């Protein structure tokens, strides 16, 4: 829970694009830990899916940070802004990946985070603190929306500095790198059932073994 809130607040405080993505990763891993701590099939399945989602969304953001740095040689939000005017393809991809990291419905991040919250809310293992932890995690979702939308505004909107005129948009190689990530971000967001089905049997077995071990200790 500390990771979710601290990572989100630290992300909002950053002026460096790469550092924002790094701290957002801390927040995402907090959601994974919450789902695993629920110790029920829904929470654990959602946590495992969220690890995949984290790799797609955060990995995509790191790639986009690198692509922008190759062009501008800066990651400072205070030196950016208005880039959508000259980098529309980059801006569109950054928006999709950023919104997936934020947990927008219809994209992969929403599926994992929402089901983690449901799993934690109904968790017997978390006991009387389950609802409090779920409420705090939901606050983390709100904070994620704030820092992601702020990031998009600072990079893509506002006045364009004269020195960025003429920057090239994404090339074919960069588009080929981002295309599989975008496809999975949308696919998982719209149709996550195959991913859940693939992990269901192993999760049920693992939880059964854990329950037996717990009873043996008692």
Map out the domains of the chain as residue ranges: 2-217
Instruction: Give the number of C-alpha atoms closer than 13 A to the C-alpha of residue 194, restricted to the C-beta side.
Output: 6
Burial bucket for residue 199 (CB in 10 Å: 0-12, 13-18, 19+):
middle
Q: What is the pTM of this model?
A: 0.92
Q: What share of the chain is helix, strand, coil (3-state, %, to 5)?
A: 80, 0, 20
121/131 Cα distance (integer angstroms): 5
Q: How far apart are CA 188 and CA 167, in angstroms?
A: 33
CB burial class (10 A; 0-12, 13-18, 19+) of residue 26? middle
Residue pLDDT tens, the chain, 218 long? 789 999 999 999 999 999 999 999 999 999 999 999 998 989 999 999 999 999 999 999 999 999 999 999 999 999 999 999 999 999 999 999 999 999 999 999 999 999 999 999 999 888 889 999 999 999 999 999 999 999 999 999 999 999 999 999 999 999 999 999 999 999 999 999 998 888 888 888 888 877 766 666 55
Q: Rounded CA gap, 197 and 190, in Å?
A: 15
Closest CA to 107 of 147, 49, 68, 62: 49
């Amino acid at each position: 829970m500390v990771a979710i809130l601290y990572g989100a607040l630290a992300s909002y405080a950053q002026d460096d694009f790469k550092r924002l993505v790094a701290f957002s990763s801390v927040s995402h891993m907090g959601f994974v830990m919450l789902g695993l701590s629920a110790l029920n099939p829904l929470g654990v399945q959602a946590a495992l899916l969220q690890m995949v989602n984290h790799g797609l969304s955060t990995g995509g953001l790191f790639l986009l940070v690198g692509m922008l740095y190759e062009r501008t040689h800066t990651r400072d939000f205070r030196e950016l802004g208005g880039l959508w005017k000259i980098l529309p393809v980059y801006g569109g991809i950054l928006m999709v990946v950023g919104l997936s990291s934020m947990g927008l419905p219809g994209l992969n991040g929403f599926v994992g985070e929402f089901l983690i919250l449901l799993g934690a809310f109904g968790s017997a293992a978390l006991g009387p603190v389950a609802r409090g932890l779920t409420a705090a995690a939901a606050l983390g979702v709100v904070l994620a929306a704030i820092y992601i939308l702020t990031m998009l505004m600072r990079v893509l909107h506002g006045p364009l500095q004269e020195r960025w005129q003429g920057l090239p948009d994404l090339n074919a190689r960069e588009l080929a790198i981002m295309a599989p990530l975008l496809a999975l971000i949308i696919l998982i967001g719209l149709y996550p059932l195959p991913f859940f089905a693939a992990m269901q049997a192993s999760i049920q077995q693992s939880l059964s073994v854990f329950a037996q071990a717990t009873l043996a200790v008692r």
